[in-house]
Amino acid sequence: MRLGITGGKGGTGKSTVATALAIELAKKNKVLLIDADADCPNDHLILSIKRKKANDVFQLIPKWNLKKCIKCGKCSFVCKQHAIVFVKGNYPIFIPEQCNGCKACMFACPEKAIKKDKKKIGSVYYGKKENISFVSGELDPNQPSSEFIVSSVNNYVKSKQDKYDFVIIDTAAGTHCDVISALKECDFAFAVTEPTPLGEHDLKLILQLLKILKIPCFVILNKADVGDKNLIKKTANKFKTKIIAEIPYKKSILNAYSKGEPIKDKKIKQIADFLIKKFHD
Ligand code: SF4
Ligand code: SF4
């Protein structure tokens, strides 16, 4: 079973839930935990896993042959990333940090002056902690496309994931391409949120995305006793789902969080029991 732990808003506790759930499920099952928050992976820190590099990830970038360039500016005109600066009468100037490898400039160049090159944008890592196998992707600083890293992570686990009972994917926040790429092929998802107007706003976005992707989901309400729970209940109802667990805002959880340790809470066990039942149904 492939599970997405996601949520529109950052800082709601996705990694906290994903790591705690991995520990609980791994007591009696084979678990693969994937940290797909390539901009800011931190599950390995919570679980104290020493990661090893599996492979580097490269992205296509353009390379100019200025001998062929007639200074028409078409490459700059089609670049939606603003990675090519063009001033009339001059050669185009390339800003590699902005480029997402879409190839539009190569197609647009009438003189075939642009060829393919590549740049390193990040790496895929693996590790293990007791019964939990672990994979994470990490984008290098100053690189724009975490989606490539998530795709690379997906490729890395493709041939391996079938041997696990549960594959847990901790996604990035938001509803961007990297989140879509991480949620792809999930059988089930949990949207982690908190009872605040911002939490409710971003919950709507992620529930909308999950609806489009046709992934069944439940809501996990973190910091449940701070703020207005009804706000989240109403939104969950609107999307024909419900809050499956409410994680309280309590000292023991905050202590674990501040030490960078996995949380222990009976609500996590309830979610794990629910998943195990679903897995065996
Ligand atoms: S590959 Fe795409 S993003 Fe990169 S410079 Fe060309 S048009 Fe711009
Ligand atoms: S489209 Fe080709 S010919 Fe025109 S400015 Fe760009 S590289 Fe030069």
- Helix, strand and coil content of the chain, in percent to the nearest 5, comes to 35, 25, 40
The beta strand positions in the chain, using DSSP E, are 2-6, 31-36, 52-64, 84-85, 93-94, 114-129, 132-139, 166-171, 188-193, 217-221, 243-246
Show Cβ contacts of residue 85 under 8 Å, excluding neighbours closer than 6 positions.
76, 92, 93, 95
- Say how many Å lie between the CA of residue 274 and the centre of ligand 1: 46
Q: What is the DSSP letter of 91?
A: -
Distance 66 CA to ligand 2 centre (A): 8
Centroid of ligand 1 to alpha carbon of 118 (angstroms): 12
The model's confidence at residue 97, banded by pLDDT at 50, 70 and 90, is: confident
Report for 134-138, 142-146, 258-262: range of highest mean pLDDT: 134-138
Residues with CB under 6 A from ligand 2: 64, 69-75, 92, 108-109, 111, 113-114
| Atom of ligand 2 at shortest range from CA of 64 | 7
Domain boundaries, the chain: 2-57+122-280, 66-112
Based on DSSP, count helices (H) and strands (E) in the chain, helices before strands. Answer: 10, 11
Query: Which residue has a Cα nearest atom 2 of ligand 1?
Result: 102
What is the 266 CA–ligand 2 centroid distance (Å)?
Answer: 62
Distance CA 202, CA 6 (A): 11
- CATH code of domain 66-112: 3.30.70.20
Model confidence pLDDT, tens digit, residues 45-85: 999 999 999 999 999 999 999 999 999 999 999 999 999 99
- At residue 260, the pLDDT reads 67
- What is the homologous superfamily of the domain 2-57+122-280 according to CATH? P-loop containing nucleotide triphosphate hydrolases (3.40.50.300)
